Amino acid sequence: MRFMTIYKPGEETTTPPTQEHIAAMGKFIEELAKSGVLIQTDGLQHSSKGARVRLNADGTFKITDGPFTEAKEVIGGYAIIDVKSKAEAIELTKRFLKVAGGGESEVREMHDQPAYDARSASPSQFADAAQARLQQEATR
């Protein structure tokens, strides 16, 4: 089962992590990668380098440049993991939060098949994946 964990640090800072923190996170990521659990992970840059795009009911767009004032809503990074259960995903996420030093993570199960994977699919395969998802959801 694939899960995405979405990390929210609870505060946003421009202070870089310490060498000790980088080493501890590197060790944790290496452990997950070697075990085959970690599919992908990355951190995100400060929200001042981003924007929020909202589609309004009237069809217009609202663009809000960062930084974003609600630090608790700021996403700091993500990981995609492949585990046997939601309980295992939660346990790995708890370990991650200890290494990260705090914050919270949302753990969300992903569909069995990606809608599109640039490493192994062509754009025309998106429709096939979407159809397979719809059939899968109908049988649940």
> What's the CA gap between 44 and 76, in Å, rounded?
5
Q: Which domain holds residue 90?
A: 2-109
CA dihedral 18, 21, 27, 33 (to 10 degrees): -100
pLDDT tens per residue across span 124-138: 665 666 666 566 666
pLDDT tens per residue across span 64-115: 999 987 777 899 999 999 999 999 999 999 999 999 999 999 999 999 888 8
Task: Say whether both 66 and 92 belong to one domain.
Answer: yes
Task: Say whether both 103 and 120 belong to one domain.
Answer: no
Give kind and range of the element (H or E) at residue 43.
Answer: strand 38-43
Residues facing residue 124 across a β-bridge: none
Task: Say whether both 70 and 43 belong to one domain.
Answer: yes
Task: Say whether both 98 and 123 belong to one domain.
Answer: no
pLDDT band at 62 (very low <50, low <70, confident <90, very high): very high
Token duo for residue 133:
């998802």
Task: Say whether both 75 and 132 belong to one domain.
Answer: no
Task: Say whether both 32 and 77 belong to one domain.
Answer: yes
Q: What integer pLDDT is reported at residue 128 of this predicted model?
A: 65
Task: Say whether both 79 and 130 belong to one domain.
Answer: no
CATH of the domain at 34: 3.30.70.1060
Give me the number of domains the chain comprises: 2
> What's the CA gap between 79 and 102, in Å, rounded?
16
